[in-house]
A and B are shown apart, each in its own frame.
Chain A
Amino acid sequence: MPKRSDIKKVLVIGSGPIVIGQAAEFDYAGTQACRSLKEEGVEVVLINSNPATIMTDKDIADKVYIEPLTVDVVKKVILKERPDSVLPTLGGQAGLNIGMELEECGFLKENHVRLIGTTSLTIKKAEDRLEFKNTMEKIGEPIAASTVVTEVEAAVAFADEIGYPVVIRPAYTLGGSGGGIAHDREELEDICANGLRLSRVGQCLIERCIAGWKEIEYEVMRDSAGNCITVCNMENIDPVGVHTGDSIVVAPSQTLADKEYQMLRTSALNIITELNITGGCNVQYALKPDSFEYCVIEVNPRVSRSSALASKATGYPIAKVAAKIALGYTLDEIPNAITKKTYASFEPALDYCVVKIPRLPFDKFIMAKRTLTTQMKATGEVMSICTNFEGALMKALRSLEQHVDSLESLGVYDGFDREMMEEELHKVDDRRIFAIAEALRMGIAMEEIHEITQIDLWFIDKIAVLVEMEDRLKKEELTEELLREAKRIEFPDAVIARLSGKAEAEVKKMRCDLGITAAFKMVDTCAAEFAASTPYYYSCFGSENEVSGEKTRKRIMVLGSGPIRIGQGIEFDYCSVHSVWAFSKKGYETIIVNNNPETVSTDFDIADKLYFEPLTPEDVENIVRLEKPDGAVVQFGGQTAIKLTQALMEMGVKILGTSAKDVDAAEDRELFDEILEECCIPRPAGKTVFTTEEALKAANELGYPVLVRPSYVLGGQGMQIAVSDEDVREFMAIINRYAQEHPILVDKYLMGKEVEVDAVCDGTDIVIPGIMEHVERAGIHSGDSISVYPAQNISEKMQRVIVDYTGKLAKSLHVIGLINIQFIVYQDEVYVIEVNPRSSRTVPYISKVTGIPIVDLASHVILGETLRDLGYTPGLQPLSKYIAIKMPVFSFEKIRGADVNLGPEMKSTGECLGISEHFNEALYKAFLGSGVSLPKHKKMIITVKDADKLEAVEIARRFKKFGYEIFATKGTAKVLNEHGILAIPIHKIEQEAPTLMDLLLDHQIDLVIDIPNQGLEKAKDGFLIRRTAIETGVTVLTSLDTANALITSLENEKEEEHELTVIDIAAVK
């Protein structure tokens, strides 16, 4: 069937801010789909509140609305733009929910707009637990015995009937929010009550526990003619019980015989057919390990994290094909972009093995529970490709950038005996694979490990192969045969050296002398059956190289930013992709190296060549030897890329843009101090230390409070405000968990206004698109602060100083390209607190709101052009007509045990933007987009540390005036009442009931303002209150500045709601 002629203008709904369970994969899918639609001549209107995405660029869609993703706002966009169709299947669960609400309320019909890509009936059949159950029963597809409940009592009754343990899955939540496994009545009541509250429709599914079964996924596609194919199947190494997003996953399945493989494939096709899906769909199965019995766990009638993984694993562009299907094409009409000989109705055949490992945030939330459950916790993931499983696992491990280069490097099992190790194996957490390796080293039998973990013996044996190799390297002489085998299963030179007691250089030399070098292979969707020309490569050893390094143009290598983690998110992918496009336009051949399957940068048609590889010196060197790039760019790939600078230079690769020496100067405290002194720029007094003793001495000399942090880190990792010696001791211990190559910084903490600037420098001139001001005062990480462009409360004089300092610093550091500087304005003085000669988190947002393509400019400058050539007048650029407010978004409810108290270490996972000509409207939109909605009760709890009590009075007064009933802890209540604000005093947790906790659990509270003391809070009280609030869905603010912003927004809410205007940001010049 050819393209439908009645689809001319399509509204694509994005997925909004990045939260755990809904991440960069939707930017990848959305970007690909928008390009696919535009290629067909369709006008694309896009709405997504996330400014860090590539899909919200004017190059990707014709009209771009960075607006809150609520039904009302989407309605406004539809009324303004009048699209004929809405495509809701690319924006994850968020997009799907909005599409469905628009359809259900009759709005689409009234306005003659149709849903494409799916129907509301399809969504309902797949997403509504009861409908899903009925549909599966109708076509005879087994699901685990289950029932849908709307109250806890019904759940308990059902569990009594089928027996514990049972699984609880709330309906319409993403990443399995609020779900879990209950082993007894108490747990069931707890989890179910929480799940009911989180579910959009107040429903939970209670089902038979199938934990321990194999978890298998199929990615299937179907067109309007009913043709179906499976793109890929995947096997989770972790059995059912761990969310697939938190599991180590391998593609294709490894332990299924053709009978099981085809049984589930047929089932998946039956399901997609019955659901009448047109596009992509993900079906998850539990397969009983000792029979053919299986259950359908879940169906996602849209693109998903798994579809992004399947696309990257096979080379089959699911989102692109789904968009074409939505336009009416059938699978046999859509050419396979990789082979150009086959069509989309071809099932990819793999001739390699793919391993995905989740990136979990426990390095950020060190107090959090590491246990993995059906509630997803990972912020990102890495993927690797190799011709064998062991190699793929090793490559994925070192791609994580978590101080791990093999299975033996965790080091947490020192001194464990056999019994303790067996105990350890029972823990289902992110370290399980390391525990298995350690258990094997101790001689615990594979069968016993399998018995405990339920992980298939095939995988355990593969881990054993790796452990045996460690042992051989330790005990045997390093012969050619042994070295070849170690490299075949991807042992890095450093690990081989460590184990065999040699120097890394020695191992490398031996390898090169023997010709043991990496070969590169192509991902071609067809296992070499057809000739393909797509430049998507992976490395392996012991094979023939099939990639030519032949060069016709100058070649630039762009280093990507690896897995998404708190502190290094999607914005760096935005920068990498834009630089690739800029270099490409200038006629250069581009190479991108990255290992993140969720991102746009690893789409095979972004750069001229894509290397899906770990970002370590050795892996990058393999590529360098083949490709001999004329230069490499590290300033766009976050800390991951920056860390490779030294190694690249040693390989003889020219670093384009700011030199390594100058990058170093910005990070090295002594060098940096010299530069500041030369420029006469003040910074808060500080010292560099290595030991706890030195740190204590420094802190006492400077006077508390002080900031303690490691150098060369991103996202304020490990940064804390210390108010006492005790704090310093504790923080130093945490930082020194990993051996520090670089010194630790102890600085005086100044409580001023924080201001941030991104600038482009060509060596002579600088262009500053704008000055951003943080709502929260210094002390809260810039990534967690509300950021306002243009600065609202910084005097012109101070602004001039900031511009002056920025210019001086950029020139002194010889910046060619991007620079990001953070300042504190304190008592009419400007202090520099941090300089990053590279791209930053704010680059995408400031580019979009000012219309100045910063990455593009930086790329041109890197190639030698000047800002004046590019048509820019140096200095601070004229103000945009719009005010843009960047609001951080957190995923605290997903991480049990994580403290929500904001501080110098970044904790947010994503962001959204509020943009308007007026400050109040921008603020309102920003809160709306971040999902802070304060429901009906208008009851709040305030508890403020002594120092801030007076400041809290005015804020409390405004909440009171707005109609809030205020509860407060004794001290806070006393101060409020003294100032004439009625506050009901309540007991702290340890006091007699009713306490704060009872109040929270009563579900009457909408908001908690809790301003704790800085430093590691010793009282478990505050922590418990904040956690309980987050877990019961209550908004928690830990900064008075944020509270102030929120009440301002609320005060204007009525007005803004009616008057809200939506802005096409693609039209911003």
Chain B
Amino acid sequence: MKAFLILEDGTVFTGTSIGVQKEVISEIVFNTSMTGYLEVLTDPSYAGQAVTMTYPLIGNYGICYQDMESEQAWPDGFIVRELSRRSSNFRREDDLETFLVQQGIPGIAGIDTRALTKILREKGTMNGMITTREISDLGEVLPQIKEYSPKGVVRRVTCKEKRTFVPGELGSEEVPVKKKAALMDFGTKKNIVRSLLNRGCEVTVYPAYTQAEEILGDKPDGIMLSNGPGDPKECVEIIEEIKKLSASSVPIFAICLGHQLMALASGADTHKMKYGHRGANHPVKDLETGRVYLSSQNHGYVVDEAAFDKEKAEISFRNVNDGTVEGVRYRGKKIFTVQFHPEACAGPLDSAFLFDKFIEMM
């Protein structure tokens, strides 16, 4: 069946419908990872967005459920050039198409994803509609498409109640428990939890809107702020709680949205990037050692360097390509945050040592 992707600038791509046939309006973003489509689909940070994969052949190795980064798929839509009709891998349990249907995600295949990517790169991230309806008058839908804005996404993706995991769960190694970690779930990926479990932490995952007092009352040895979707400035209440957490002496390590929220909590600012960083090949430089690591990234907002109080904190990582802030260390506190994803999935495992660093701080 024919499907259409209509961008808010009026560009229309015609392709074939994949997944469920459902009309959606969403923010269209692109990801340059060549592998890891399932991890991308199940990364809660994509809530409120529709993802385009720039690699043209998607679905080749099917679905291995244990690679899911959360319990469900989050994007509003999935855009690929070619969905493999046959998938092959020793762990494969399903086809990607089956998975999309099962998760209720609409999508479009058979379009020139490179042309789409170039539009997003030149004009910036924009909204779009995926539909199987032939729309003769674009004027009818364009205002509606433009109007869309991903709102309240953290509330959608965070867990409903707190839950504690011990090593051995989530496919982690069964190591003795040495530390107790608290994880604020703004849309966490399983591998953040797993990375802590593998290092001997008992991990309690808290819903995003948990009060700081409750978390501190559980006496964790360290607090982790997870990744998550949306505009960090929307999370006003959470920022207030983070201020309280950072006033405590408990070590804090934050990733992605967590990193942005910590920056906002300490008085810095964030802004939306033209088209963000989404992929598995972003080099970040550790300014202390000069070492460069390849990182997995997924963010549309970035910490503003201009509004950054150098007295309170210093930049620890920078993006080699565009020089943007990739990590912050807070002076006089056991707090460090990174914009990229040391838990990888999908992507390189180069910066996984940051979890070790966090454990050492506890």
Tell me if chain B binds chain A: yes
Q: Is B347 an interface residue (CB 8 A)?
A: yes
Q: Which of A345-353, A436-444, A901-909 contacts B (4 or more CB under 8 A)?
A: A345-353
Contact string against A for B residues 221-236, beta-carbon threshold 8 Å, 1 for contact and 0 otherwise: 0000000000000000
- Select which of B113, B122, B321 is within 8 A of A343 by beta carbon: B321
B114–A529 touching, CB < 8 Å: no
Q: Which residues of A contact B38 (CB under 8 A)?
A: 257-258
Q: Is B121 an interface residue (CB 8 A)?
A: yes
Q: A255-B60, A458-B86 are in contact. Are A546 and B115 (CB under 8 A)?
A: yes
B348–A265 touching, CB < 8 Å: yes
Contact string against B for A residues 243-266, beta-carbon threshold 8 Å, 1 for contact and 0 otherwise: 000000000111111110110011
Contact string against A for B residues 104-136, beta-carbon threshold 8 Å, 1 for contact and 0 otherwise: 000000101111011001100000000000000
Question: How far is A341 from B115 in the complex, measured between Cα atoms in Å?
Answer: 20
Nearest CB to that of A258 among chain B residues?
A: B36
Nearest CB to that of B115 among chain A residues?
A: A544
B292–A227 touching, CB < 8 Å: yes
B283–A350 touching, CB < 8 Å: no
Question: How far is A228 from B350 in the complex, measured between Cα atoms in Å?
Answer: 9
Q: Is B242 an interface residue (CB 8 A)?
A: no
Nearest CB to that of A254 among chain B residues?
A: B60
Question: How far is A457 from B55 in the complex, measured between Cα atoms in Å?
Answer: 20
Give chain B nearest CB distance to A487 CB in angstroms: 14
Q: Which residues of B contact A332 (CB under 8 A)?
A: 283, 285, 292, 320
- Select which of A229, A262, A465, A543 is within 8 A of B349 by beta carbon: A262
B320–A543 touching, CB < 8 Å: no
Question: How far is A456 from B84 in the complex, measured between Cα atoms in Å?
Answer: 14
A528–B283 touching, CB < 8 Å: no
Nearest CB to that of B82 among chain A residues?
A: A388
B54–A353 touching, CB < 8 Å: no
Contact string against A for B residues 64-75, beta-carbon threshold 8 Å, 1 for contact and 0 otherwise: 100100000000
Give chain A nearest CB distance to B320 CB in angstroms: 5
B55–A529 touching, CB < 8 Å: no
Q: Is B87 an interface residue (CB 8 A)?
A: yes
B279–A529 touching, CB < 8 Å: yes
Question: How far is A528 from B84 in the complex, measured between Cα atoms in Å?
Answer: 22
Q: Which residues of A contact B56 (CB under 8 A)?
A: 351-353, 387-388
Nearest CB to that of B281 among chain A residues?
A: A347
B292–A387 touching, CB < 8 Å: no
A458–B88 touching, CB < 8 Å: yes
- Select which of B32, B320, B321 is within 8 A of A349 by beta carbon: B32
Question: How far is A166 from B107 in the complex, measured between Cα atoms in Å?
Answer: 49
Interface residues on A, range: 35 or more
Q: Is B35 an interface residue (CB 8 A)?
A: yes
For the complex, would chain A's binding face be called helix, strand, loop or mixed by DSSP majority? loop
Nearest CB to that of A529 among chain B residues?
A: B32
A345–B283 touching, CB < 8 Å: yes
For the complex, would chain B's binding face be called helix, strand, loop or mixed by DSSP majority? loop
Chain B CB within 10 Å — which of A290, A330, A542, A543 has the most?
A543
B57–A353 touching, CB < 8 Å: yes
Q: A225-B291, A528-B117 are in contact. Are A351 and B320 (CB under 8 A)?
A: no
- Select which of B34, B114, B292, B322 is within 8 A of A521 by beta carbon: B114
Q: A457-B88, A461-B86 are in contact. Are A258 and B114 (CB under 8 A)?
A: no
- CB contacts under 8 Å to B, within A318-366, are 330-332, 341-343, 345-353
B67–A345 touching, CB < 8 Å: no
- Select which of B36, B115, B292, B346 is within 8 A of A345 by beta carbon: B292
Q: Which residues of A contact B199 (CB under 8 A)?
A: none
A262–B348 touching, CB < 8 Å: yes
Nearest CB to that of B54 among chain A residues?
A: A527
Q: A353-B57, A529-B117 are in contact. Are A255 and B112 (CB under 8 A)?
A: no
B60–A528 touching, CB < 8 Å: no
- Select which of B39, B54, B322 is within 8 A of A528 by beta carbon: B54
Question: How far is A330 from B291 in the complex, measured between Cα atoms in Å?
Answer: 9
Q: Which residues of B contact A227 (CB under 8 A)?
A: 291-293
Contact string against B for A residues 417-456, beta-carbon threshold 8 Å, 1 for contact and 0 otherwise: 0000000000000000000000000000000000000001
Question: How far is A290 from B92 in the complex, measured between Cα atoms in Å?
Answer: 11
Q: Which residues of B contact A347 (CB under 8 A)?
A: 280-281, 283, 294, 348
Q: Is B345 an interface residue (CB 8 A)?
A: yes
Contact string against A for B residues 145-156, beta-carbon threshold 8 Å, 1 for contact and 0 otherwise: 000000000000
A458–B87 touching, CB < 8 Å: yes
Give chain B nearest CB distance to A49 CB in angstroms: 39
Q: Which residues of A contact B33 (CB under 8 A)?
A: 258, 349
A543–B112 touching, CB < 8 Å: yes
- Select which of B89, B285, B291, B321 is within 8 A of A342 by beta carbon: B321
Question: How far is A530 from B114 in the complex, measured between Cα atoms in Å?
Answer: 12
B67–A257 touching, CB < 8 Å: yes
Give chain B nearest CB distance to A355 CB in angstroms: 12
A291–B86 touching, CB < 8 Å: no
Q: Is A24 an interface residue (CB 8 A)?
A: no
Contact string against B for A residues 210-224, beta-carbon threshold 8 Å, 1 for contact and 0 otherwise: 000000000000000
Give chain A nearest CB distance to B93 CB in angstroms: 12
Q: Which residues of A contact B280 (CB under 8 A)?
A: 347, 349
Q: Is B244 an interface residue (CB 8 A)?
A: no
A461–B85 touching, CB < 8 Å: yes
Q: Is B91 an interface residue (CB 8 A)?
A: yes
Nearest CB to that of B344 among chain A residues?
A: A262
Question: How far is A342 from B90 in the complex, measured between Cα atoms in Å?
Answer: 37
Give chain A nearest CB distance to B167 CB in angstroms: 20
Q: Is A923 an interface residue (CB 8 A)?
A: no
- Select which of B32, B122, B346, B348 is within 8 A of A527 by beta carbon: B32
A261–B117 touching, CB < 8 Å: no
B61–A256 touching, CB < 8 Å: yes
Q: A252-B34, A331-B292 are in contact. Are A543 and B54 (CB under 8 A)?
A: no
Nearest CB to that of A223 among chain B residues?
A: B292
Question: How far is A527 from B277 in the complex, measured between Cα atoms in Å?
Answer: 13
Q: Is B290 an interface residue (CB 8 A)?
A: yes
- CB contacts under 8 Å to A, within B234-292, are 279-283, 285, 290-292
Q: Is A1068 an interface residue (CB 8 A)?
A: no
B57–A388 touching, CB < 8 Å: yes
Q: Is B341 an interface residue (CB 8 A)?
A: no
B115–A543 touching, CB < 8 Å: yes
Nearest CB to that of A339 among chain B residues?
A: B321
Question: How far is A229 from B30 in the complex, measured between Cα atoms in Å?
Answer: 22
A351–B321 touching, CB < 8 Å: no
- CB contacts under 8 Å to A, within B1-49, are 30, 32-36, 38-39
Q: A225-B291, A345-B283, A353-B56 are in contact. Are A526 and B32 (CB under 8 A)?
A: yes
Q: Is A531 an interface residue (CB 8 A)?
A: yes
Q: Is A269 an interface residue (CB 8 A)?
A: yes
Q: Is A967 an interface residue (CB 8 A)?
A: no
- Select which of A252, A266, A330, A351 is within 8 A of B114 by beta carbon: A351
Q: Which residues of A contact B85 (CB under 8 A)?
A: 461, 465
Q: Which residues of A contact B290 (CB under 8 A)?
A: 225, 330
Give chain A nearest CB distance to B152 CB in angstroms: 29
Q: Is A389 an interface residue (CB 8 A)?
A: yes
Nearest CB to that of A351 among chain B residues?
A: B54
Question: How far is A461 from B95 in the complex, measured between Cα atoms in Å?
Answer: 14
Question: How far is A362 from B60 in the complex, measured between Cα atoms in Å?
Answer: 34
A255–B121 touching, CB < 8 Å: no
Can you show 12 pairs from A to B with CB atoms below 8 A apart? Answer: A258-B39, A262-B35, A330-B292, A343-B321, A345-B283, A347-B294, A349-B55, A351-B54, A458-B60, A461-B85, A526-B32, A546-B115
Which residues on B are within 8 Å of A, measured CB to CB? Answer: 30, 32-36, 38-39, 54-57, 60-61, 64, 67, 81-82, 84-91, 110, 112-115, 117-118, 121-122, 279-283, 285, 290-294, 320-322, 344-350
Q: Assuming A225-B291, A527-B54, what are 12 further A-B pairs, CB within 8 angstroms?
A: A227-B291, A227-B293, A259-B67, A291-B90, A350-B55, A351-B54, A457-B86, A458-B84, A527-B117, A542-B110, A543-B115, A544-B115
Which residues on A are within 8 Å of B, measured CB to CB? Answer: 225-229, 252-259, 261-262, 265-266, 269, 289-291, 330-332, 341-343, 345-353, 387-389, 456-458, 461, 465, 521, 526-531, 542-544, 546
Closest 5 pairs between A and B when the two form their complex, measured CB to CB: A258-B36, A347-B281, A527-B54, A458-B88, A461-B86
